[in-house]
Amino acid sequence: MNFLLTAGGLRNDTQRDALRDMLGKPFGAANAVYIPTASVAEPGDHGWLVADLNRLHGLGWQEFDVLELNGLPPATVLDRLLHADVVYVGGGNHYHLARSITGNGLADGFLKALESRVYVGFSAGSMIFSRHLTAHSADVIGDTADLHALGATTLEPPFGLFDWYLKPHLYSPDFPERDDAWADRITARADFPLYFIDDETAVRVRDGEMDVVSEGRWRFQPGPGR
C-alpha cells in the first residue's frame, strides 16, 4: 500500500514529485478519483474545497472522477475506486469521513482497492488510518466538538493501520492557534505517537516504510516511554 498523507493537499513540487514517483507513470496516463465526503460536514465558506479540487484537477489526469461515499450502493463506490489509479480523499470533518466509511460497510473493500493504488489524503483524508482515531484521541487533541457535532460520542477507527496519529495544519495562517504551544499542550496529554505537519509537508508510506517529504516544518512526538 502507498500513502501520501498531506495537511494541505498537493501544494508544492516535492509533494507532486513524490506522488508521481509512487504512481510510476505520468499523471496524464492515470485516473484520479476525488472524494469530498469530509467537506460536507463542515459549515461555512467552501472556497478551500474548490481550490483543492482545482489544484488536483490541474495536474492533467486522463480521467478525473468525483465520488461521494454516502448515498450510493457500496458496490458502486468500490467499482469507482477500482477504476482509479489515485484515490484522493479531501478535507473537512475526519469523524464524518470515518463514520461514512464504517457506516456504509466500505472499510474492507476500500483497503482491498488500496493494495494496488496510491492514496493521497488532504487534512481529514490523512487522519483516518490511525488506530487511535477514537473518542479518547478526540479528547486528547481537543476535537470533541467536531465529533459531538455529528451527534456521536463514540467512534470506531475504520482501518487502524498506523500506530501514530496525524494532526495537520501546524503553523497554518488558517489555524493561527496551531503553534508550538498548542502542539506542546497536546503532546503533554497524548499517550500515543503524533505527527504534527504543516501545509507544505506529507507523511509518505510505501509498502510499510515511512518517511516525511516536506518543503515546510513538522514535529514528531513518539509517545510515552519511547
Domains of the chain by start residue, with CATH: 2-221 (3.40.50.880)
Length of the chain: 226
Predicted TM-score (pTM) of the model is 0.95
Cβ atoms 136, 156 nearer than 8 A: no
Rounded mean pLDDT, 76-87:
97
137: enclosing H helix or E strand: helix 135-141
| Half-sphere exposure of residue 12: CA atoms within 13 angstroms, side-chain side | 13
User: pLDDT-derived band of residue 226, with 50, 70 and 90 as boundaries?
Assistant: low
Rounded mean pLDDT, 49-76:
97
Which positions ≥6 away from 210 have C-beta within 8 Å? Answer: 203, 204
